[in-house]
Amino acid sequence: MRLKIGSNDALIVVDVQNDFCPGGNAAVEDGDAVARKISDLALNFRSHDGRVFATQDWHPTNHQSFVENGGIWPTHCVRGSQGAEFHSELKLPVGSGIIRKGEDPGTDAYSGFDGTTLSSHLERLDVKRVFVGGLSTEYAVQHTVYDALQKGFAAFVVTDAISAVNANPDDDQRALDTMLASGAKPVTTQELIGE
């Protein structure tokens, strides 16, 4: 059954950037496929008066998350670099909001709401429901969903438009289970786009 999208709905595209896709410094396995699925979904949202926002890690070179600075991640999504650019197959509709995060070297900023204007944009547009997809499931997607719920939005996880690092087996399933237990609802691209 298709879920009706309207002007009170927003798609949040999380970190579909070159460094998180195959060939990137912090790649997840299915990043290319996620980029393609989310492109179709984003265009569908706009055609039904839904809003589209895309988050983008935009780190300084001295960011605390990088291994050389004492963090756990390889250097990734350095602002202005090719790795920080959106995946070439991610097609965002005209008018999409770009939310850059992680600009403070001392903050991980996994969530699209962390230190950004995303919440104020959504409130100004009277958005009630957010649909979250992107990279990666157990980090930026999960934190964005948590924060959306904390801020009073109804949150949906687009389960076939996310992909995980999976440093440990089944991290992706544990993250999804935790998001659903926190009050998020699962949805698929098929249920949003229909035939």
> pLDDT over 90 for what percent of the chain?
97
Average pLDDT, the chain: 96
pLDDT single digits (tens) 15-54? 999 999 999 999 998 999 999 999 999 999 999 999 999 9
Residue 107 has what pLDDT? 93
Quick one: pLDDT at residue 194? 78
- Find where tokens 């659903």 sit: 180
pLDDT of residue 1 exceeding 70, the answer is no
Q: What is the pLDDT of residue 2?
A: 78
Using an 8 Å Cβ cutoff, are 102 and 137 in contact? no
Question: What is the rounded average pLDDT of the residues 75-96?
Answer: 97
- What pTM was computed for the model? 0.97
The tokens for 53 are 């926002």
Residues 6+ apart with CB under 8 A from 6: 48, 49, 50
Average pLDDT of the residues in 88-107: 96
Mean pLDDT of 86-114: 96
Query: 50-62, pLDDT tens digit by residue?
Result: 999 999 999 999 9
Interaxial angle between packed helices 171-181 and 142-150, expressed in degrees from 0 to 180 and rounded to the nearest 10: 10
Percentage above 70 pLDDT, the chain: 99
In sequence order, the 6+-apart residues with CB closer than 8 A to the CB of 99 are 53, 54, 55, 56, 112, 116, 117, 118, 121
Q: CA 67 to CA 85: how far, in whole Å?
A: 21
Within 8 A by CB and 6+ apart from 173, the residues are none
User: Whose structure tokens read 């410094």?
Assistant: 25
Helix (H, G, I), strand (E, B) or coil at 92: coil
Q: Which domains does the chain have, with CATH numbers?
A: 9-193 (3.40.50.850)
Q: What is the Cα gyration radius of the chain? A: 15
pLDDT at residue 154 in the model = 98
Q: For residue range 145-176, list pLDDT tens digits in order.
A: 999 999 999 999 999 999 999 999 999 999 99
195 pLDDT above the threshold of 60:
no
